[in-house]
Amino acid sequence: MLKTVIFSPSGKEVIIGHGMPTVIIGERINPTGRKAFAEKLIKGDLSLVQEEALKQVRAGADALDVNVGAAQVDEINMLAAAVDLVSRTVDAPLCIDSSKPEALEAALRVYRGKALVNSVTAEEHSLSRVLPLVKEYRAAVIGLCMDEDGIPGEPGERLKIAQKLVERAEKEGIPAEDIVIDCLAMTVSSDQQSALTTLETMRLVRDELGVNITLGASNVSFGLPDRKIINMAFFALALQAGLNCPIMDPTAPGLRRLIKATDLLLGRDQWAMSYIGDVRGYPEE
């Protein structure tokens, strides 16, 4: 099994690996669906970025995703500025998140740690543009299981895309341990089999490729009431299926504790130290 190591500018390491405690990547530095956040970014105001960075690390995030993509935001300048600000605010490695390669490059240029780049797809235009950046800046990268034909509905087909991502990265000189695969979760409100497909894909990717696995999991409950409980049930299942560095909201009540409890039950928490530490550290929850 492969270990993905990312680190902050000060050298603080976070290690992602199967059988190890789950790494929590905080998702809240992201203006999607948050009007006030987007409006501040349009004006060049990064105060919420800083606030969210502090809040999430306090809430137990091991690493932070940084995304400033919204309509009318100058993403190239703002992503680099946000990455710089966050890394001066908290000591946690960053996941640099943009669909614009120019923005990724500008941010990677200012970042002094080892970042996780979010993301590359198996589409040629993405592979040829993003992988050279990952190589040049010695980063790790999240590969999404989709290509020119979209997202396959069958786990074996999704695995093939993951395979292609790993092979192409290796050809570019990026080792497999620096590839983290996102098997993609779609909502169960339109297709009640879709979560099963994601879970089965994760099992295959872990067992066949041994690479580490991330997931933006909250999608799964879109369109349904009491989403929190669906997300929690899905997290527990996904962690067993191979998810080991979810991109999630560490401030969501109960969610981080659920991750710690699941780690313990899956034999990833020796002497229950992490779980007990979590209860001691956050006694009010």
Partner 1 sequence: MSILEEIKEAVASYKPAKVKELCDRALDQGIDANVIVREGLIAGMSVVGVKFKNGDVFVPEVLIAAKATHAGMDSLKSVLASSAEEPVGTVLIGTVKDDLHDIGKNLVAMMLEGAGFKVYNIGINASPEKFVKAIEEYNPDIVCLSSLITSTLHWLGETIRVIREAYPGKPLKIMVGGAPVTQELADEIGADGYGKDAQEAVERALSILNIA
In the complex, least distance from residue 190 CB atom to partner 1, rounded to whole angstroms? 5
Token pair belonging to 36: 């006030």
Provide Rg for the chain, Cα atoms.
18
Q: What beta strand segments (E) does 172-268 contain?
A: 179-182, 212-214, 247-248
Residue 151 in contact with partner 1, rule: CB under 8 A: yes
Site string for partner 1, 70-109 (x = CB under 8 A): xxx-------------------------xxx---------
Residue of the chain from 223, 253, 267, 283 that contacts partner 1 (CB under 8 A): 223
Residue 152 in contact with partner 1, rule: CB under 8 A: no
Residue 110 in contact with partner 1, rule: CB under 8 A: no
Residue of the chain from 43, 190, 253, 280 that contacts partner 1 (CB under 8 A): 190
Q: State the CB neighbour count (10 A cutoff) for residue 7.
A: 18
Token pair belonging to 159: 């695995």
In the complex, least distance from residue 4 CB atom to partner 1, rounded to whole angstroms? 24
Residue 43 in contact with partner 1, rule: CB under 8 A: no
In the complex, least distance from residue 72 CB atom to partner 1, rounded to whole angstroms? 7
Measured from the CB atom, the residue of 10 and 32 that comes closer to partner 1 is 32
In the complex, least distance from residue 194 CB atom to partner 1, rounded to whole angstroms? 11
Residue 33 in contact with partner 1, rule: CB under 8 A: yes
* DSSP state letters, 24-53: PEEEEE--TT-HHHHHHHHTT--HHHHHHH
Strand order in the sheet with 212-214: 212-214, 179-182, 140-144, 116-121, 94-97, 63-66, 25-29, 247-248
How many positions of this chain bind partner 1 (CB under 8 A)? 22
In the complex, least distance from residue 69 CB atom to partner 1, rounded to whole angstroms? 4
Contact 39, 76 (CB under 8 A): no
In the complex, least distance from residue 70 CB atom to partner 1, rounded to whole angstroms? 5
In the complex, least distance from residue 150 CB atom to partner 1, rounded to whole angstroms? 5
Residue 222 in contact with partner 1, rule: CB under 8 A: yes
Distance, CA of 262 to CA of 235 (rounded, Å)? 9
Residue of the chain from 224, 229, 276, 279 that contacts partner 1 (CB under 8 A): 224
Residue among 204, 187, 214 nearest 62 (CA): 214
The reply to whether omega before 99 is within 30° of 0 (cis) is no
Angle at alpha carbon of residue 69, lines to 89 and 217, rounded to 5°: 85
Q: Residue 223: which region, alpha, beta or left (left: phi > 0; alpha: psi -120 to 50)?
A: left
What's the one-letter identity of residue 22? T
**How many residues are there in the chain?**
285
Part in contact with partner 1 (CB under 8 A); list of ranges 17-25, 164-172, 188-196, 259-267: 188-196
Interacting residues toward partner 1 by CB under 8 A: 31-33, 35, 69-72, 98-100, 146, 150-151, 187, 189-190, 192, 222-225
